[in-house]
Chain A
Amino acid sequence: MWEYSEKVREYFFNPRNSGPLEEANGVGDVGSIQCGDALRLMLKVNPDTEVIEEARFQTFGCGSAIASSSALTEIVKGMTLDEALKVSNQNIADYLDGLPPEKMHCSVMGREALHAAIANYRGETQTDAHEEGALVCKCFAVDALLIEDVVRANNLNTVEEVTFYTKAGGGCASCHEGIEEILAKVKGERSGPGEVSPPMKPIAPRAAPKLTLVERIRRIEAVLASVRPMLVRDHGDVELVEVQGRNIYVHLKGSCAGCMMEAATLGGIQQKMIESLGELVQVLPASYMPAETSC
C-alpha cells in the first residue's frame, strides 16, 4: 500500500469541510467516475471583497484524493479569489507534507477544481480554455494544455512523471508519443529563446580538418560547459573523465546519475559533441570505461 504521510492520513480519516454547501456561489466539478476520482469544490465568495468565506468539497476517490480535497478547502478559506488562483498543486501537496509521486494527480485535480469554481463564480466559461487543448490521453481525458501546464509548473521531464501528476499515459500507453512531444516542446522553451536547438542535422561526417588532441579536449570541455547550467538546475553536474579515441567518458553527478534521464542526457551531450567535433564519437558514463588489464 502507499506510504501516506501522517497529515494525509489525518485529513483522510477526519476530513475537514466535507459535504454540500447550500450557499455556494462558485462550484467546480472535475474528474469523472470512470477515471476513478471526481471532485466537486463549492465556494462561498463575498461579492464585495471577493474573499472566500466558506469552502466545502465532495470527493469520490482514494485516500489521497479525499485528503487533497480537504486540504484545498482549508488552504483557500479566507483568501481572495486572486490569491486563490495562485495556489499551485505543489502547495496542496506541501500542505499535506507531500504525496506519493504516483498520487500527485490528486493535487492537480484540486487545483483544477479551484480554477473551475472561480471561473464558475465569475461567470466565465472555463470550457473554452480547455477546448483549445487537443485531447491527448483518451483513457483519462487529459488534454494537451493541462499536460503542458503541469509539465511547466513542475519541471517534469519524463512520461512517467507526467503520468504521476496528471494520470495521462497511465492506461493503454498509446498516448506516450503525444506526451513525449509535449515534453520536447516545453523542454525547447526551457533552454531559452534563441537557443532552441535546430532540428537535428544529418551528421554527415564532414571532412573535418583533423583536430589536435588539445583542440579536441578544449571543444569537449566547451560542450560540457554549455550543458552544465541545465544540469545544475536539476541539481546535477557533469565532468570529463577520459577521452579514448572515439569514446568520451564523463561522470554525471547529482540527481542525474543513475536516473532514467541519464541515458537521455548523455544522448543529448553526444549529439552536441558530434556537431562540435565534426566526427562520430560516443559519450559514455565513466563506469563503462574498460578496466585496466593488469597481467
Chain B
Amino acid sequence: MNPIYLDNNATTRVDPEVVAAMLPFFTEHFGNPSSIHAFGSQVGKALKEARQKMQALLGAEHDTEIIFTSCGTESDTTAILSALRAQPEKNTIITTVVEHPAILSLCDWLEKEGYIVHRLRVDRKGRLDLDEYRSLLVNNVALVTVMWANNETGTIFPVETMAEMAAAKGIMFHTDAVQAVGKLPIDLKATKIDMLSLSGHKLHAPKGIGVLYLRRGCRFRPLLRGGHQERGRRAGTENAPSIVALGKAAELAIEHMHHENTEVRRLRDRLEQGILSQVTHAFITGDTASRLPNTSNIAFEYVEGESILLLLNKQGIAASSGSACTSGSLEPSHVMRAMGIPYTAAHGTIRFSLSRYTTEEEIDRVIAAVPPIIAQLRELSPYWNENGPVENPERAFAPAYA
C-alpha cells in the first residue's frame, strides 16, 4: 500500500522538475556567480532568471526586491531586527499570539532586551480583532509582523488591510507568508506590505532556501554583512542550486495556483465532510470562512493526538498533531490554547495538509481509516462509554488528587 503524505505544511516533496533544474548547478555549472569568467557568468544569469520567477509569483514590482536567504526563519529574523535597527527611536513591535516560533521566540527575546511587544489575541475561530489592532498603531511602533496564514489551522489573516492601516500611520509592515506563498494568489505591488518572508521547502523546493521580499525604499539593515551579494543586503556566496530550484518551484506554483484553489480545496473539503459525517464529537478548528485551501485541522474530543498519529502511521498515513506529546513540550500547541480550544479537544487535534500531488483515492482511504481509529481509542478512554462521552467527565473520572 502506498504511503499517503498529508503533512505538507511541515514540508513538501521537491518537485521532480525542480530537482532536474537544480542538478546541473552541482556539476557543470558550479561557478561562483560573482566571478568574471564563463563559469561564473552562466550561474549569474540563472540566478537572475530565478529572481524574476519569484518576482512573478509574488507580484513584486522589481526583481531587486527579492533577497535570497537560507530559510524562512532567517527572513523573519532579518525583517524584525532590520526594522528595529533602522528606526532606533522606536521600541515597539506588534505581532500575534499565534505566530510561528520563528517570530515568537525572537519577540520573547527582544522583550527581555527591553523592547515592548504587543501580541494580538485571537477569538475561538482564530480571528484577530482589528479594532484592538487599530488602537495599538501609535508612534513608537517600529514594526507590525503578522503571519499571512497560520501553519496549524490554515487561518488567513487580513494582512493586506492591516498593512494599509499601518501604512496610514507610517508604520512598517512585515508578514510571515511561509504558509501562504504558492497556495494563495499574491500581488505585492498592489499592497502596502513592506517585507514578506517565504521558505522554499513549503512549496516543493528544497529545504534551506528562503526569500525576504523588501519593498524598494523600505529602510533596511542587513543581518549578515560581508560580501556584496544580494546588493549588500545579505552577504554570503549564493546557494545557486537552491536558488535555481526555488525559481523553478515559483514557476510551477503559478501554473498550479488554479488547481490548488479548486481541486486541492475540493479534496480537503471532501476529507472533512467524510470524517465529520462519521465521527461525532469532532470539529474543525480555525476560521472555516477564511482558510488555506490545503489545510484541515480537526479536533477529536476525548482522544489523544499522538495515539491517533501512531495508528494512522501504521496504515501509511502521515499527518501531524497539536497534542502535547508530539510537540515534546508537554502542553498542547500555543495556537490551540490561544483559540481557547477546550483541553478535552486540544490534545486530540490532527492537522491534515494536502498538496497538488494528493489524489482522491488517497483522501478516500483516509476517510475510511480515521473513524475506526477514533472509535478504537475512545473505547480505551476513561472519558468515553459506549456511544458518547461519560456524563460530566470531570466528575465521573475522579482522580484521588489533581
User: A: which residues have CB within 8 A of B?
Assistant: 1, 12-13, 15, 18-20, 28-34, 36-40, 58-63, 65-66, 102, 116, 119-120, 126-127, 130-131, 139-141, 143, 163, 167, 170-171
Note all chain A residues with C-beta closer than 8 A to B397. 29, 32-33, 38, 40
B304 contacts A by Cβ under 8 Å:
yes
| 5 new A-B contacts at CB < 8 Å, known A13-B310, A19-B379, A31-B402 | A36-B323, A60-B303, A63-B307, A141-B402, A170-B330
A-B contact pairs, 22 of them (CB 8 A): A1-B309, A13-B310, A19-B379, A29-B382, A32-B394, A32-B399, A33-B343, A33-B393, A36-B324, A36-B332, A38-B399, A58-B381, A59-B380, A59-B381, A60-B302, A60-B303, A60-B382, A61-B307, A62-B305, A62-B326, A63-B306, A120-B400
As a 0/1 sequence over residues 88 to 106 of chain B, the CB contacts with chain A under 8 angstroms (1 = contact) are 0000000000000000000
User: B: which residues have CB within 8 A of A?
Assistant: 302-307, 309-311, 313-314, 323-326, 328-332, 343-344, 347, 379-383, 385, 393-394, 397-402
Is the contact region of chain A dominated by helix, strand, or loop, or is it mixed?
mixed
The 8 closest A-B pairs by CB, nearest first: A170-B330, A62-B325, A62-B306, A58-B382, A40-B382, A130-B401, A36-B324, A34-B343
Contact A60 B402 (CB under 8 A): no
- Given the known inter-chain contacts A19-B379, A60-B304, A60-B383, please indicate yes or no for A13 contacting B393, CB distance below 8 A: no
In angstroms, Cα B303 to Cα A163, docked, is 23
- Given the known inter-chain contacts A30-B399, A61-B307, A130-B400, please indicate yes or no for A18 contacting B379, CB distance below 8 A: yes
In angstroms, Cα B307 to Cα A36, docked, is 11
Q: Which residue of A lies closest to B314 (CB)?
A: A13
Contact A15 B330 (CB under 8 A): no
Note all chain B residues with C-beta closer than 8 A to A126. 400-401
- Distance of B305 from chain A, by nearest CB (Å): 8
Q: Which residue of B lies closest to A140 (CB)?
A: B330
Note all chain A residues with C-beta closer than 8 A to B311. 13
- Distance of A62 from chain B, by nearest CB (Å): 4
Set A12, A116, A163: member contacting B307, Cβ < 8 A: A12
- Distance of A65 from chain B, by nearest CB (Å): 8
- Distance of B313 from chain A, by nearest CB (Å): 8
In angstroms, Cα B307 to Cα A116, docked, is 25
In angstroms, Cα B384 to Cα A19, docked, is 10
In angstroms, Cα B343 to Cα A32, docked, is 10
Contact A31 B325 (CB under 8 A): no
Contact B383 A33 (CB under 8 A): yes
Q: Which residue of A lies closest to B345 (CB)?
A: A33
Contact A63 B310 (CB under 8 A): yes
In angstroms, Cα B245 to Cα A124, docked, is 68
Note all chain A residues with C-beta closer than 8 A to B379. 18-19
